[in-house]
Amino acid sequence: MLGTGTMGAPMARNLRAAGLEVRAWNRTRAKAEPLIDDGITIADTPAEAARGAGALITMLADGDAVAAAMGGSDGALAAMPEASTWIQMSTVGIGATEELAASAAECGVAFVDAPVLGTKEPAEQGQLLVLGSGPQGQRERCRPIFDAVGATTRWLGEAGAGNRMKIVLNGWLLSLTEALAETIALAEALGVDPTEFLETIDGGPVGAPYAQLKGRAMIDRSFEPSFPLRLALKDAELVGEAALRKELELPLLRIVADQLARAAELGHGDEDMAATYWATAAPANEPLGEPGHYGGRGAAEVRRSRATR
């Protein structure tokens, strides 16, 4: 396993708990060391983690991070046995997936593209949804791994189909989150209790469990990272890259990316993606208005948070 961040660490634990032998590498070794207590061996280099392994999982931030860990003399590709399988589970987008698949082919290693849906808690509970794609003959080898980290696996076709589906899903959920941020901000500005808004849509055709989850976080200004905003921004950029490849104009998703970038500039990159709320609640360089029915919390808090940054 290369990468023991928010997702990689619990996935490694679940693999070990399922009885698989696991060697893990992380760029910052100290972050991987707690896994020793779970019976996981920590490797000093990606090559050391990969040597002799039947399957290697990458769960790293982005395409550049994956390429860095796989390439070079200490990289995993140089050490992977010939008939081994590289299971690439990071969200890296379409272009990077093509490049990574090509580098696997050059080394005679099978490549499975299998990003996941689900955040920190589903990862801890082994309840991720795996979007598997790759050679038919690799499915059996992947099965115990995917069963250990996920509740469901959807096989989608040849390698690349997983990251393409992930792009589509991200376009949907990033738009939903941004729409929610604006809706909560609008409710607050109009003196409509945003909790009543959530209760009104709950369970109905225009409701979504995701809206309850992220909407509550926005109302409570509770942005403990489940999916960090900086990675949501990376995903929004990957959606943009995918659309550009097909010369498809997606104005809504361009705005979503701008809002995420703005929230990151305001200092919320390491908070949960729901913190995109702050980009809406803080019009650029403009007076933020008078406190409203809810104590003007959005505007006043933005003023305070700006003052302290």
Q: Show the CA angle centred on residue 192, arms to residues 236 and 297, nearest 5°.
A: 70
Q: Smallest gap, in angstroms, from Cβ of residue 231 to ligand NAP?
A: 4
Residue nearest to ligand NAP (CB): 5
Q: Smallest gap, in angstroms, from Cβ of residue 131 to ligand NAP?
A: 10
Place of tokens 């060697």: 23
User: What whole-number distance in Å separates Cα of residue 24 and Cα of residue 76?
Assistant: 12
Q: At what angle do helices 161-190 and 194-201 cross, to 10 degrees?
A: 130
Q: Smallest gap, in angstroms, from Cβ of residue 148 to ligand NAP?
A: 16
Q: Is 120 a catalytic residue?
A: no
Tell me the three state secondary structure of residue 25.
strand
* CB nearer to ligand NAP: pick between 44 and 202: 44
Q: Smallest gap, in angstroms, from Cβ of residue 112 to ligand NAP?
A: 15
* CB nearer to ligand NAP: pick between 18 and 169: 169
User: What whole-number distance in Å separates Cα of residue 39 and Cα of residue 298?
Assistant: 46
Site residues (CB under 6 A) for ligand NAP? 3-8, 26-28, 31, 59-62, 64-65, 68-69, 90-91, 116, 119-120, 226-227, 231
Q: Which of 166, 214, 234, 246 is catalytic?
A: 166
* CB nearer to ligand NAP: pick between 119 and 183: 119
Helix (H) or strand (E) holding 110: strand 110-113
Q: Smallest gap, in angstroms, from Cβ of residue 32 to ligand NAP?
A: 8
For 249, residues 6+ apart whose C-beta sits below 8 A from its C-beta are 243
Burial class (CB in 10 A: 0-12, 13-18, 19+), 37: exposed
* CB nearer to ligand NAP: pick between 20 and 129: 129
* CB nearer to ligand NAP: pick between 26 and 177: 26
Place of tokens 């950029």: 237
Specify the DSSP class assigned to residue 228.
B
For 206, residues 6+ apart whose C-beta sits below 8 A from its C-beta are none
- Residues marked active site are found at 166
